[in-house]
Amino acid sequence: MPGLLLRPDNNLLRVSVEKYLKPEVINQIKRLDLRAQFVVKGFLQGLHASPFHGFSVEFSEHRRYASGDDPKDIDWLVYAKTDKYYVKKFEAETNITGYLVMDLSQSMGFTHRQDLTKFDYGICLAAALAYLMIYQQDPVGLITFDTRVKDSLAPKSKRTQLGTLLAHLAKLKPTGPTDIGKSLTQIAAMFRHRSLVMIFSDLLADPGPVFQALRRLRHRGHDVILFHILDEAEVTFPYDGMVEFEDPETNELVVVDASAYRRDYQSEIAAFRAMYKQECFQSGIDYVQLDTSMQFDKALLEYLLSRRARC
């Protein structure tokens, strides 16, 4: 499939495919269907079993009321004009519309010793999920944000959409501060139909507004997957002695005795992740806890298998 998207003169697209969705990774994703009998086909069938499937409908046409029809479907405006009973006929949407939502905050560009920054790691996950959705002919788009929504790419299901997405992802840079809660609230207002919203962020912000925005997305019927991506060092804190740390978004400097602080830090980060896990569980949101020491394709497979088992 990727070969159909590459053009000899499209160097940017080739680079993005090789960097974020290497051929061996694509082959691995395609083999998942054989190994687990669900990824590519089964995974997306699992998505189609999401709570909103079958409830997202579009108006098709009117027809005369017949015995057995639900009176609730009667169009009373038509009755007022014609003095006859007509019901609205609807057609259920058979495709899920997915949105990849990328956090562009400066903190996402951090890495301690891994080859991939948090941002690169998120892009790899997003590229794999885009491939899976387009393979199933489900439309998928892209939204980026920092302190507000920065850019959006309309969802499409055409095979060329993968190349468009990868080329767009390859040009993104994590810069500046972020306002996750405000941005997710803005994003929730953008959607016209119930959608699958896949969020990629380190969530290094005040959790209160983020929780409110996530609840708003769920309240509107969206299926939400929150990929919480931290660097390995942000989880393990592998520092010793007196160390100076700099906030990547505010440039604030702080010096700490890392050896003495490690246990408290690890306890705090564990509590932070546990808080998100509990909030997402209560809100019906899939919370995927990740760090950059995990191979992204294996981590994604593990999540997809667990999701499939719940469907």
What CATH number does the domain containing 104 carry? 3.40.50.410
Asked if 62 and 198 sit in the same domain, the reply is no
Which residues have C-beta within 8 Å of that of residue 201, sequence separation ≥ 6?
Answer: 103, 105, 108, 122, 180, 226, 227, 228, 229
Position 309 confidence tier, pLDDT thresholds 50, 70, 90: low
d(CA 206, CA 229): 16
**Are 117 and 158 in contact, with CB atoms under 8 Å apart?**
no
Q: Report how many domains make up the chain.
A: 2
Asked if 164 and 261 sit in the same domain, the reply is yes
Asked if 84 and 189 sit in the same domain, the reply is no
pLDDT tens per residue, range 33-90? 333 333 344 444 544 443 333 334 444 566 677 776 777 777 787 778 788 877 766 5
Asked if 79 and 227 sit in the same domain, the reply is no
Burial 272-281 (b: 16+ CB within 10 A, else e): ebeebbebbe
Asked if 113 and 177 sit in the same domain, the reply is yes
Asked if 80 and 204 sit in the same domain, the reply is no
Domain boundaries, position 81 = 57-92
Inform me whether the pLDDT recorded for 223 exceeds 80. Answer: yes
d(CA 107, CA 178): 9
Asked if 69 and 206 sit in the same domain, the reply is no
Asked if 111 and 232 sit in the same domain, the reply is yes
Tell me which range, 90-104, 111-125, 208-222, is most confidently predicted by mean pLDDT: 208-222
Asked if 121 and 191 sit in the same domain, the reply is yes
Asked if 297 and 163 sit in the same domain, the reply is yes
Q: What is the mean predicted confidence (pLDDT) over 285-306?
A: 86
Q: What is the mean predicted confidence (pLDDT) over 28-36?
A: 40
Asked if 68 and 6 sit in the same domain, the reply is no
Global pTM reads 0.74
